[in-house]
Amino acid sequence: MNELETDHIPSGEENREPEKSNETLLPVEATGSTESIEATELTELIEVIESPGTVEAIVLTETVAPVESTEPVSKTLPVIDHRLLAGKLSVYDWLRDLPGNRHIPEVVEVRFKNTRKAFFANPSKLPLQAGDIVAVEAALGHDIGIISLSGELVKEQIRMKKIDLNRNPLKKVYRKAKPHDIEKWQQAIALEHETMIRSRKIAADLRLNMKIGDVEYQGDKTKAIFYYIADDRVDFRSLIKVLADTFHIRIEMKQIGARQETGRIGGIGSCGLQLCCSMFISNFVSVSTSSARYQDISLNPQKLAGQCGKLKCCLNYEVDTYVDAQKDFPSTHVPLNTGEGMLYHQKTDIFGRAMYYAFDKEGRGVHIRLSVDRIKEIIALNRKGVVPPKANDQVEEKKVPDIKYTDGVGEESLSRFDEKKSKKRRPKNRGGNGNKRHGNPVQERNRQNQQNRPEKEQPNNDL
């Protein structure tokens, strides 16, 4: 990931704190009776945040007193703490049950927003555990983060990531976050979305070919990191000056790729699940079309591309298994010369260890299924100048019929308890001797009608 970091301090802001009215853009807090209410709300907020496994949104309630009226007006400011909801950087501590793992940690791992976490030293010997909100040292000021890991596993993580503590000394953990720190931290998170929208408009007005994808405020609201993506190098010096004058904070710009932006935003993939880059992928590995070729997947860009526009990361999940499975497969570019004709490769069943061939290069006609061993045998015979009479000399085994799944419940009919309608039976035609007559039913019916018809009286011609 290409990162460009630039800090800018606005003129006249080095030795003084930013003004609260320009920083927070929030109304003035009421005094008097509202102090006890705010203290109670902050206490409840700390209990909710410090409770393990909390994944609910945190809502800050402020009581605001307008300048014109003396009556307090209640205003609710909803804040969705996505830093607490993010489970991408969470680590399972499989060494937590060790007896020596319950001592005060010397080094802890602290996570911040979404894809950022770092290691910090604990010189004050604070009893820190996973889930605690702490104030840590920053470049200028302090930042607020959540401890994601402590104990012996932290040393293993440092060793795995090859961090040299002698050349790069760790920053310190100041203290556990106080109610005032947590409140300011939540206010900073609430400003991030609005800041991102305004910064996008400013970049568009300056006609810069870049897209600001996310904004992350520091815990003390004195600095903000702007994550952006761009195809080419961007001269954002004028943008930094405008942003610093608009928000009255220090600005840091970081360039990220399309994969990193999708991982920070999140979404639903074509599989119906949450995107892998927003759940657990932190180090992005390059994906090439050879991964699709090894798995015998059609090279359709619309199906192989993810929401970031790049090849899907899941193409690398099983490619090693496919490569190992077809190590001893013959080349697909070698045709087979048999007595029946030339055979050309069409498709491969990797885990079935079979390949399909056809007499036509375009795949028209019947496909012949050959095992890998038989194909190797034919190729060896062709190299010696021998042409086998048939491609498949093995007797085909009789296929066992598939036994379908049957269920006792499914065998019963749902209408078995319904009353069945009785069918009308037609009268049987029997002769005088009681035997059934065989013949044309129409002629038999006409004959019966003539027998049952009364005789007509002949007219009397007597005078």
- pLDDT, tens only, 325-359: 999 999 989 999 998 889 999 989 998 899 999 99
Residue 205: predicted pLDDT? 93
- Check residue 436 and report its DSSP letter: B
Same domain, yes or no: 297 and 347? no
Count of H-run helices and E-run strands, the chain: 14, 15
The pair of structure tokens assigned to 251 is 């600005």
Q: Per the structure, how many domains does the chain have?
A: 5
293: pLDDT strictly greater than 60:
yes
310 belongs to a structural domain: yes
212 belongs to a structural domain: yes
In this prediction, what percent of the chain has a pLDDT beyond 70?
66
- pLDDT, tens only, 395-418: 444 455 565 655 555 556 666 666
205: CATH: 3.30.300.20
| β-bridge partners, 30 | none
Residue 4: predicted pLDDT? 44
Residue with structure tokens 């014109």? 68
Provide the CA 384 distance to its chain's centre, in angstroms: 54
Of the pLDDT bands very low, low, confident and very high (cuts 50, 70, 90), residue 361 is confident
216 belongs to a structural domain: yes
* Cα dist from 271 to 306, 321, 338, 350, 369, whole Å: 11, 21, 44, 23, 31
Q: What torsion do the CA atoms of 214, 253, 159, 278 make, to the nearest 10 degrees?
A: 20
Q: Which residue has the higher pLDDT, 436 or 147?
A: 147
- pLDDT, tens only, 300-322: 888 899 988 899 999 999 999 99
- pLDDT, tens only, 226-280: 999 998 888 888 999 999 999 999 999 999 888 888 888 888 888 898 888 888 8
Measured distance CA(271)–CA(29) in Å, rounded: 48
Domain that holds residue 52: 27-85
- pLDDT, tens only, 15-73: 334 333 333 333 333 333 444 444 444 444 444 444 433 333 333 333 333 334 344 44
320 belongs to a structural domain: yes
Average pLDDT, rounded, for the chain? 75
The pair of structure tokens assigned to 189 is 């998170």
Same domain, yes or no: 56 and 126? no
